[in-house]
Amino acid sequence: TANDIDSLRKSLNAGSEKVQQQIIPQLADLGNEGEYVLREFLLKRRDTPATWIDGKAYQVLYKSDAPTAKEFLQTYYPEGIVPLKSECGINYNSLQQLLALQDFQAADLVTIQKMCEVAGPQAVQRKWLYFTEAENFPTQDLQTINNLWLVHSEGKFGFSVQREIWLSLAKNWDNFWPKIGWKSGNNWTRYPHEFTWDLSAPRGHLPLSNQLRGVRVMAALLGHPAWN
């Protein structure tokens, strides 16, 4: 009823993130009128950088079949809610689309591919980064990739989340791997089936950095000046 919608609308606009997180799927279930509230909510917050709450509201509209939702996104967010800035002309739209659909496994692969694209044709062919390429990775691009992951994962995934955990463990890799679910006892988690490709994963579980060639690429990404 109109009353229910109005009370949901009030909680969405005034509630804590926890409350907002619960309200958004309820509005999604209410169809057109619920989506109207979500559209209004997003527009009102357009002047400040998107948070993962905006990400949740955006995802509802992104998955909606309603023509009004499609038109709204096309008009106000043709490239999603995270600005797709790049210092080197890379297009992050495919990454934003996969993350908006919560297809974290495909998004993880595209993340590796895009990072190779940034590093150049040799890296694209090699399909992995040298640690020097990670050290010199353009700040804006690293921040864009990270923001996409953060905003579309309830703040759970992204290099900056991994960095925070890594620093909290005094950069101890042996403690870090099990904490983010990449190792259990002496066993590395096996790619791809043993990884958790949804939000039930531990914080910092994604995106993956293959450790086959050692830890230096990941160390360069987590120690990058982009996070200062």
- Residues in contact with ligand UYC by CB under 6 A are 112, 128, 182, 188-189, 191, 208-212
Q: Output the smallest distance, CB 102 to ligand UYC, in A.
A: 18
Q: How far is residue 67's CA from residue 64's CA, in Å, rounded to a whole number?
A: 8
Phi (first) and psi of residue 195, to 5 degrees: -80, 160
Evaluate whether 42 touches 6 at the Cβ level (below 8 Å).
no
Residue closer to ligand UYC (CB basis): 59 or 209: 209
Q: Output the smallest distance, CB 138 to ligand UYC, in A.
A: 21
Q: Output the smallest distance, CB 182 to ligand UYC, in A.
A: 4
Q: Output the smallest distance, CB 118 to ligand UYC, in A.
A: 16
Residue closer to ligand UYC (CB basis): 77 or 182: 182
Q: Output the smallest distance, CB 86 to ligand UYC, in A.
A: 22
Q: Which residues contact 61 (CB under 8 A, 6 or more apart)?
A: 35, 38, 39, 42, 69, 72, 73
Residue closer to ligand UYC (CB basis): 61 or 218: 218
Using omega within 30 degrees of 0 as the cis cutoff, is the peptide bond preceding 192 cis? yes
Residue closer to ligand UYC (CB basis): 76 or 188: 188
Residue closer to ligand UYC (CB basis): 144 or 189: 189
Residue closer to ligand UYC (CB basis): 48 or 200: 200
Residue closer to ligand UYC (CB basis): 46 or 213: 213
Neighbour count for residue 93 (Cβ, 10 Å): 11
Residue 154's alpha-carbon distances to 31, 59, 114, 116, in angstroms, are 22, 11, 22, 26
Q: Which residues contact 186 (CB under 8 A, 6 or more apart)?
A: none
Among left, alpha and beta (phi > 0; psi -120 to 50; other), residue 13 is: alpha
Q: Output the smallest distance, CB 207 to ligand UYC, in A.
A: 8
Q: Output the smallest distance, CB 187 to ligand UYC, in A.
A: 8
Burial bucket for residue 113 (CB in 10 Å: 0-12, 13-18, 19+): middle
Cα Rg of the chain, angstroms: 19
